């Protein structure tokens, strides 16, 4: 996969606008290649321990609907929204993990939330 990332970077180097942005640019290529790889090669699920003392998390029906819609968002929005609202990372932490700028993270979150509202039929005044 590493070779594929650098081949893609070599082929697309002309699209890099500023050489100072090479780190985030490479990270984006690597992120997309790894997502494609794991989408194609789904790992076998490992069964949980069969002990009865493991309590399942409480999940509401509405929560399940929202998570399903988040899964259907474009990758950039989906990734930042999951990191923020599921994993609980801050904007700067998400920027560090994804290679995006803090401003790009804010834009992706804002646009992702707006698209999620549209898909769920929620007016802007209502809370998701």
Instruction: List C-alpha distances in Å: 1 to 38, 41, 74, 87.
Output: 11, 12, 22, 26
Grade residue 110 by pLDDT with cuts at 50, 70 and 90. very high
Neighbour count for residue 105 (Cβ, 10 Å): 25
Q: What is the pLDDT of residue 51?
A: 53
* Total-model pTM: 0.51
Q: What is the pLDDT of residue 107?
A: 94
- Token pair in block for residue 28: 């984006």
Grade residue 108 by pLDDT with cuts at 50, 70 and 90. very high
Q: What is the mean pLDDT of the chain?
A: 79
Q: How do residues 37-89 score in pLDDT, each as one tens digit? A: 777 776 554 565 555 555 666 667 777 788 888 888 998 898 898 888 888 88
| Spatial contact of 87 and 93, defined as CB atoms under 8 Å apart | no
Q: How do residues 6-48 score in pLDDT, each as one tens digit? A: 788 888 888 877 777 788 888 888 888 887 777 777 655 456 5
How many percent of the chain have pLDDT more than 70? 81
C-alpha of 105 from chain center: 10
């Amino acid at each position: 996969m590493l070779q594929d990332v650098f081949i893609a970077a070599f082929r697309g180097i002309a699209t890099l606008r500023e050489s100072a942005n090479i780190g985030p640019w490479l990270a984006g290529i690597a992120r997309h290649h790894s997502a494609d790889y794991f989408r194609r090669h789904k790992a076998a699920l490992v069964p949980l321990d069969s002990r009865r003392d493991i309590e399942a998390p409480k999940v509401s029906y509405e929560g399940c609907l929202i998570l399903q819609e988040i899964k259907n968002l474009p990758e950039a929005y989906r990734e930042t929204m999951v990191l923020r609202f599921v994993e609980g990372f801050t904007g700067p932490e998400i920027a560090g993990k994804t290679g995006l700028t803090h401003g790009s993270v804010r834009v992706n979150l804002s646009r992702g939330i707006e698209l999620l509202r549209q898909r769920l039929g929620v007016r802007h005044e209502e809370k998701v």
